[in-house]
């Protein structure tokens, strides 16, 4: 399929993007998807009742590439609600997530889909780098473990949302839990069913660190992770504390090394 042409009835990949007041970066984010070497995709951008020009920019991109689609929420519901609105319209076999300020390298989809087919896995994730608001690289490559089970993921939240991919032919339809750390909850819910997630050790994505993002507020991230352990996964106090100890140690190591 050529860029700009109408997508097939079922595209291979559905890209899910939640956007709220994202006018600064959303065009660049969409461009990083349009530049993918794998062209059989659709991108569903869910505008979460933005008060800026986000929707207009997405419409402009969609006018020149039918694979880009705007999903509009009438009132602000949060990132999980926006992702669910996009997921409700997704047709692809593989579901990939890309937030409205992050970027993919051109071979990301092609390399990751090939990897998942080779490993015959339900969930995969990749290495990535962090950038600042100006696009300047921050620190080293963020590497990933070769594999993650449910028990391992509890202690090592290594699946970055912008790198995660799900094969819905294996898992069935997916939906986000409308709670903090909805992405982490999704990965846990899939692996809890016995699936194993596999890591592709290739630099394929750029995570943008912006003022006010979760990555810039480690205490808030830790509090939300604790809430997932106790309120969503229903871990006992000792088990949750043990997982939190591992989570905290890895968070400190990341800040020291990366």
110 inside domain: yes
4 inside domain: no
Q: Measured between alpha carbons, how far is residue 249 from residues 100, 145, 150, 202, 231 in Å?
A: 29, 16, 19, 24, 22
Which pLDDT score is estimated for 256? 47
229 inside domain: yes
58 inside domain: yes
Residue 144, helix vs strand vs coil: coil
Which pLDDT score is estimated for 100? 98
Helix axes 54-64, 26-34, angle to 10 degrees: 20
189 inside domain: yes
Question: How far apart, in whole angstroms, are the C-alpha atoms of residue 249 and residue 28?
Answer: 34
Which pLDDT score is estimated for 254? 59
Comparing C-alpha atoms, which of 38, 182, 181 is closest to residue 116?
A: 38
Which pLDDT score is estimated for 186? 98
CATH number of domain containing 104? 3.90.550.10
Helix (H) or strand (E) holding 125: strand 123-131
Which pLDDT score is estimated for 233? 84
State the residue range of the domain holding 110.
13-257
7 inside domain: no
Question: How far apart, in whole angstroms, are the C-alpha atoms of residue 113 and residue 207?
Answer: 20
8 inside domain: no
User: pLDDT per residue over 51-65, tens digit each?
Assistant: 999 999 999 999 999
Structurally, how many domains does the chain consist of?
Answer: 1
Residues of the chain below pLDDT 50: 1-2, 7, 256-258
5 inside domain: no
User: pLDDT per residue over 236-257, tens digit each?
Assistant: 999 989 988 988 887 766 554 4
Query: Is the Cα dihedral 42, 173, 214, 51 positive or negative?
Result: positive
Within 8 A by CB and 6+ apart from 170, the residues are 121, 122, 195
Which pLDDT score is estimated for 3? 55
């Amino acid at each position: 399929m050529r860029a700009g042409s109408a997508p097939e009835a079922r595209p291979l990949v559905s890209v899910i993007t939640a956007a709220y007041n994202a006018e600064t970066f959303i065009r660049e984010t969409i461009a990083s998807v349009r530049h993918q070497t794998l062209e059989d995709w659709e991108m569903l951008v869910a505008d979460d009742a933005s008060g800026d020009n986000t929707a207009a920019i997405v419409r402009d991109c969609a006018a020149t590439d039918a694979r880009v689609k705007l999903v509009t929420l009438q009132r602000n519901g949060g990132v999980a609600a926006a992702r669910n609105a996009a997921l409700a319209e997704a047709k692809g076999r593989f579901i990939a997530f890309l937030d409205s300020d992050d970027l993919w390298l051109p071979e990301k989809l092609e390399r990751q889909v090939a990897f998942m087919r080779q490993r015959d896995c339900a969930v995969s994730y990749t290495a990535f780098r962090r950038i600042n608001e100006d696009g300047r690289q921050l620190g080293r490559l963020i590497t990933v473990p070769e594999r993650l089970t449910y028990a391992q993921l509890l202690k090592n939240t290594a699946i970055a949302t912008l790198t995660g991919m799900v094969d819905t032919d294996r898992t069935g339809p997916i939906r986000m839990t409308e709670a903090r750390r909805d992405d982490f909850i999704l990965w846990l819910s899939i692996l809890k069913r016995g699936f194993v997630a596999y890591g592709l050790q290739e630099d394929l994505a750029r995570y943008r660190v912006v003022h006010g993002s979760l990555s810039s507020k480690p205490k808030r991230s830790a509090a939300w992770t604790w809430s997932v352990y106790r309120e969503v996964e229903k871990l006992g106090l000792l088990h949750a504390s043990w997982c939190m100890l591992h989570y905290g140690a890895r968070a400190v190591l990341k800040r020291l090394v990366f």
